[in-house]
Structure 1
């Protein structure tokens, strides 16, 4: 037995909204939360402007609007509430991050689309696509790791990870591939960016999330 034991691994805590606010490191966690959300919206804007394929959830949204008289944004909102229903059996708690997800990401996406033009050069579009995927993983690790409650779709992932004991890599990749398959069946358009995102976001998030997960103080029962 060595003189100094290794630090325990950083894990996502199952906290209710009040516990999330009382879990310590509040200034750092708030900054990390909102930096992550802004970067998440920026990454979505880059993928859209790259025009080489939507991320899996947006493939699903684009497929749904072909069958219902609703706008893209309305479908995104409705899907968020549907996904939140899946949190109930997973005992996944919402929080400040869950609410902020729906507001800040949309604003950051719109700002990116308004300030970043769609490039003509293929190599720049490829760069946008690659940057979008990597920045999206970093952003997800930042805001999920702040432990204020994930967004509806990421909460589905973290809830399944906690309940099944499977890896983030496996759960996230399975969700993304399933969503793409359903979206494509409904008529959603996919591209090389969609495939790259679906196959790489799970491993990237699996690697980054432990780095940015804030270790919280123990909560009383």
Structure 2
């Protein structure tokens, strides 16, 4: 139980750190990443905050993930909700001011991407599943058998086009994040010596199995072992 609580706290901290990085890239004022351009466009047209737009789009993506048969974890749901809440907290209270200087803007953009990478290390390491958008990428990869890089590019192009149509902020920052964001994530993983393949994720279906198991058995540890055995047999 203590281990589960420790991982849950790690998950929330990781999402909080990610939101700091996201807001830094937004407030850099150089143009938004494809997904944030989509969020920005939605917020302008629906009269809601960017955080609320992020949550709304996250809900839609989660529903699509479910239809595609992708496993959802607690981390998937909390990613969908908490990132938007934390974003609004920082932006509404102007904790990270908007840059009015291009040099400072570039510094904020690069630091923001690095911080997002660190946040990903923290929250993915909790083992509660991937975020909604990453889940969509994985699900489409499984369905289409296309390379992950191709799927990721297509999804981001879709988000960027709709963001641009809706009036989202697009600029040099958009180009930079599209081209090098993956490198910052990779670098963050490298300096933290983080291997995603070493993480054993628990999904909501696993927790449901454990609840059913505990109705008839006393050992939660046996449930975990049985769940892992079921996964290894596939």
Length-normalised TM-score, structure 1: 0.72
> Separation in 2 of the partners of 1:138 and 1:165?
30
Checking the alignment, whether the CA contact within 8 Å between 1:97 and 1:149 is kept in structure 2 is: yes
**Deviations, residues 177-196 of structure 1 (Å, cap 9, x unaligned):** 22112221333220111111
Structure 1 residue 139, shift from structure 2 partner: 2.2
Change in 2 beyond 3 A, CA 1:78/1:111? closer
Cα RMSD for the two superposed structures: 3.2
> Separation in 1 of the partners of 2:126 and 2:38?
28
> Separation in 1 of the partners of 2:165 and 2:46?
18
Task: State how 1:79-158 maps to structure 2 within 5 Å.
Answer: 79-113=57-91, 114=93, 115-158=95-138
> Separation in 2 of the partners of 1:172 and 1:28?
31
Change in 2 beyond 3 A, CA 1:112/1:75? closer
Higher-RCO chain (CA-CA 8 Å, sequence separation at least 6): 1
Change in 2 beyond 3 A, CA 1:165/1:39? farther
**Deviations, residues 183-215 of structure 1 (Å, cap 9, x unaligned):** 213332201111111222334446639924243
> Separation in 1 of the partners of 2:102 and 2:184?
24
Aligned with residue 199 of structure 1, among 169, 179, 193: 179
Aligned with residue 165 of structure 2, among 172, 180, 185: 185
Secondary structure, in 3 states, of the residue corresponding to 1:132? helix
> Separation in 2 of the partners of 1:123 and 1:97?
35
Which deviates more from structure 2 when the two are superposed, residues 174-183 or residues 161-170? 161-170
Structure 1 residue 145, shift from structure 2 partner: 4.1
Checking the alignment, whether the CA contact within 8 Å between 1:52 and 1:192 is kept in structure 2 is: yes
Q: Which has the higher helix share?
A: 2
2:212 maps to 1:220: no
**Deviations, residues 5-36 of structure 1 (Å, cap 9, x unaligned):** xxxxxxxxxxxxxxxx9xx9646643542232
Structure 1 residue 42, shift from structure 2 partner: 0.2
Q: Structure 2: where are the runs of 5+ without partners?
A: 201-224
**Deviations, residues 56-93 of structure 1 (Å, cap 9, x unaligned):** 11211333455x54424544333222211221343212
Which deviates more from structure 2 when the two are superposed, residues 192-201 or residues 205-214? 205-214
Length-normalised TM-score, structure 2: 0.68
> Separation in 1 of the partners of 2:148 and 2:122?
15
Q: Structure 1: where are the runs of 5+ without partners?
A: 1-20
Equivalent in the alignment of 1:77: 55
2:41 maps to 1:41: no
Checking the alignment, whether the CA contact within 8 Å between 1:60 and 1:184 is kept in structure 2 is: yes
> Separation in 2 of the partners of 1:61 and 1:125?
20
